[in-house]
Amino acid sequence: MQKTISVILPALNDARIFDQQIHALLAQTVTPNEIIVVDSSSDDQIEALVKKYNNNITYFRAGRAAKFDRYFKLAINYIPWVKFFFAVKNYRAYPAESANFGAERASGNILALIDMATIPDSNWLQSSLEELNEDVKVVFGRTQYLSFTYMQKLIHYSTFGISSLESNPGTLIFKSSYLQHKMLEGFRAGADLEWRQRVKAHLIWKATSKTVLSYGALPQSLFRFLEKMFIYQMHSAPLKIQMNTKDAAAFLFFITFTIVITRWNYLVGWESQIYIPHVTKVFLLIVNIFFMQLIIVRRLRYSFLDRYLPSTLNYYFLFTLIMSLFLLSYRWNAVAADWLESSIFYIPHFTKIFIGASILSIIGYRGLYFPFRGGVPIKEIFPFRFILIGIVGALGDLVKLPGLILGSISSVFLVFSKNKK
Same domain (yes/no): 203, 280: no
Query: Are 214 and 247 members of one domain?
Result: no
Residue 396, pLDDT above cutoff 50? yes
Residues 18 and 105 in one domain: yes
Q: Which tens digits make up the pLDDT trace of 245-291?
A: 777 777 777 777 777 777 777 777 777 877 777 756 666 666 766 66
Does the model's pTM come out above 0.85? no
- Average pLDDT for 91-96: 78
Domain housing 23:
5-218
Residue 41 domain-assigned? yes
Q: Which long-range contacts (CB under 8 A, 24 or more apart) does 67-73 make?
A: 70/188, 70/231, 70/235, 71/231, 73/186, 73/188
DSSP 8-state secondary structure symbol assigned to residue 110: E
Give the count of beta carbons closer than 10 Å to the beta carbon of residue 214.
16
Tell me: pLDDT of 20 over 80.
Answer: yes
Are 310 and 352 contained in the same domain? yes
Residues 15 and 160 reside in one and the same domain: yes
- pLDDT tier, 126 (very low <50, low <70, confident <90, very high otherwise): very high
Question: What backbone phi and psi angles, to 5 degrees, belong to 10?
Answer: -70, 150
Give the integer Cα–Cα distance in Å for 226 and 214.
22
296: nearest Cα among 311, 317, 312: 317
Domain shared by 193 and 279, yes or no: no
Residues 194 and 250 in one domain: no
Residue 35 lies in a domain: yes
Residues 321 and 197 in one domain: no
